[in-house]
Chain A
Amino acid sequence: GENVEQHPSTLSVQEGDSAVIKCTYSDSASNYFPWYKQELGKGPQLIIDIRSNVGEKKDQRIAVTLNKTAKHFSLHITETQPEDSAVYFCAAPFKAAGNKLTFGGGTRVLVKP
C-alpha cells in the first residue's frame, strides 16, 4: 500500500522563524497532497493542499512544494507565531485503493515566544 513518511516528528522554533516539514510517499500515481493542522483536543483541519500539476502553492504564511520526481512534498511556515503551535499531518492518496488517503505520522510544532 501507500507509505507516507513524515519528518521531523517534533520541531521547536523561535517565534518569527520558519518551519519546514517534509513528507515522502511511495505511490507514483498519487496526485493530491493535503496538509492538516490539529490543535489540542480538536479534529484535523485542512490548511492547504497541492495537486500534481503544480510545483508550489502559497497561502499567506504557508506554502507547499511538490517534487514528483523525488516523490516528496514539504510544508513551509514563515514568520511563525505562537498560534502555529499544533500537530501537522501530511497525506497522500493510494490510487490502487480507490484514492484513500494515507497519513504521515505527524509533526508536533512548538513555537516559542
Chain B
Amino acid sequence: NAGVTQTPKFQVLKTGQSMTLQCAQDMNHNSMYWYRQDPGMGLRLIYYSASEGTTDKGEVPNGYNVSRLNKREFSLRLESAAPSQTSVYFCASGASGVYNEQFFGPGTRLTVL
C-alpha cells in the first residue's frame, strides 16, 4: 500500500496563477483532509471531506476550493494564488470511526512569488 500520495512535491507560482494539488489514498478511508503548515503555526485545517460527495470548510478555507473526485481522490485548488498561501500543504485520510485516526501524505511545498 502506498498510503496517502500527493503531487506535486514542489511548486513555484506567481501571484494570480492557479493550480491544483492532488491527493489520493489507497486505504479505503471515508474521510480526507487538507492542512497547511506554516512555521510556528502547527497544522491548520483548510477543508475536509467526511465522505464521498461531501466537503466542508475548516479553520482557514479562504482562497481555496476542493473537490472530492471519488473515494480515493481529494484535490485542493488555488484559483488566484497569493504570497500568503506560501506554505507546506498536507493531505490526510482517516477511517472516520469513533476515533479520528488520520494518516498524512508527504506534503507539497508551495511558494508564491
Contacts and interface: CB of A to CB of B under 8 A. Distances in A.
Contact of B104 (A44, A99, A104, A106): A44
B61 interface: no
A43 B40 contact: no
Interface in B54-113: 56, 58, 90, 98-107
Contacts of A42: 106-107
Interface stretch (A45-53, A54-62, A71-79): A45-53
Interface residues of A, number: 21
Given A34-B101, A46-B101, A98 B50 contact: yes
B100 A32 contact: yes
A105 B99 CA distance: 21
- Residue among A32, A44, A49 with the most chain B CB within 10 A? A44
B12 interface: no
Nearest to B102: A101
B34 to A, nearest CB: 12
Contact of B106 (A36, A43, A49, A105): A43
Interface in A56-104: 89, 93, 98-101, 103-104
Interface of A: 31-32, 34, 36, 42-46, 49, 51, 89, 93, 98-101, 103-106
